[in-house]
A and B are shown apart, each in its own frame.
Chain A
Amino acid sequence: MPPVLPDAPPPRARPRRSRHRPAWEEPPSKAGAVSKVVVLAVVVLAVVFPLYTVVLTSLSTQAETLRAGGLVTVPGELTLNAYTQILSGGVVTRAALVSVGVTAVGTVLSTVVSVLAAYGLSRPGSYLHRPILFVFLITMFFGAGLIPTYLLVSGLGLIDSYWALILPGAVSAFNVLILRNFFMGVEPAIIDAARIDGAGDWRILGAIVLPMSKAAVAVVALFYGVGYWNAFFNAMLYINDNAKWPIQLVLRSYVLQGVSLPGGGTGTVDVATGVVTGLPVQMAVMVLAVVPILLVYPFVQRHFTKGVIFGAIKG
Chain B
Amino acid sequence: MAAPSGPPPRRLSRRAQIARDRSLLLMVLPAVVLLAVFAYVPMLGNIMAWSSYSPYQGFFSSPWVGWENFERVFSNPLFLNAVGNTLAITAFQLVFFFPVPIFLALLLNSVMSPRVRTTIQSIVYLPHFFSWVLVVTLFQQMFGGAGLLNQTLRQHGYAGFDLMTNPDTFLVLITMQSVWKDAGWGIIIFLAALSTVSPELYEAAAVDGANRWRRMWHITLPALRPVVILLLILRLGDSLTVGFEQLILQRGAVGVGVSEVIDTYVYYQGVVYGDWSFAAAAGLVKGVVSLALVLGANKLAHVFGESGVYKRA
Residues of A within 8 A of B (CB): 1-5, 7-8, 12, 14-17, 19-22, 24-26, 28, 36, 39-40, 43-44, 46-48, 50-51, 53-54, 68-71, 73, 113-114, 116-117, 119-121, 123-129, 132, 135-137, 139-152, 155, 167-171, 173, 176, 184, 188, 191-192, 195, 200-202, 205, 222, 226, 229-230, 232-233, 236-237, 248, 251-252, 255-256, 274-276, 283, 286, 289-290, 293, 297-298, 301-302, 304-305, 307, 309-313, 315
Contacts and interface: CB of A to CB of B under 8 A. Distances in A.
A146 B267 contact: yes
B78 interface: no
A25 B283 contact: no
A147 B111 contact: no
A135 B123 CA distance: 37
A7 B14 CA distance: 31
A202 B283 CA distance: 41
A127 B142 contact: no
Contact of A4 (B27, B40, B127, B309): B309
B234 A120 contact: no
Dominant secondary structure at the B interface: helix
Contact of B188 (A128, A136, A304): A304
Interface stretch (B80-88, B114-122, B167-175, B217-225): B114-122
Contacts of A71: 141, 147-148, 151
A73 B148 CA distance: 9
26 contacts: A21-B112, A22-B202, A69-B154, A71-B147, A113-B30, A127-B18, A127-B21, A136-B31, A137-B310, A142-B290, A145-B42, A145-B286, A145-B287, A184-B4, A188-B3, A188-B5, A230-B130, A232-B245, A232-B249, A252-B133, A256-B133, A276-B146, A286-B134, A289-B134, A304-B125, A313-B185
A129 B17 CA distance: 11
A68 B154 CA distance: 12
A233 B244 contact: yes
7 A-B pairs with the lowest CB-CB distances in the bound complex, closest first: A148-B45, A144-B42, A230-B131, A120-B27, A117-B31, A120-B28, A145-B283
Nearest to B130: A290
A303 B179 CA distance: 23
A275 B28 contact: no
Interface string B87-119: 000000000000000001001101111100010
Contacts of A200: 23
B284 A145 contact: yes
B17 A127 contact: yes
A301 B122 contact: yes
B202 A25 contact: yes
Contacts of A70: 146-148, 151
B300 interface: no
B271 A237 contact: yes
Given A2-B238, A124-B4, A48 B123 contact: yes
Interface of B: 1-8, 14, 17-18, 20-21, 23-28, 30-32, 34-35, 37-46, 48, 59, 104, 107-108, 110-114, 118, 120-127, 129-134, 136-138, 140-142, 145-148, 151, 154-155, 180, 182, 184-186, 188-189, 191-192, 195-196, 199, 202-203, 206-207, 211-212, 230-231, 234-235, 237-238, 244-245, 248-249, 263, 266-267, 270-271, 276, 279-280, 283-284, 286-287, 290-291, 294-295, 307, 309-311
Contacts of A302: 122
Contact of A2 (B245, B284, B309): B309
Given A8-B311, A148-B45, A251-B137, A2 B23 contact: no
A73 B6 CA distance: 64
Nearest to B134: A289
A54 B14 CA distance: 62
A237 B245 CA distance: 12
B148 A119 contact: no
Q: Indicate the member of A8, A21, A135, A167 with the most B CB atoms within 10 Å.
A: A135
B4 A151 contact: no
B300 to A, nearest CB: 14
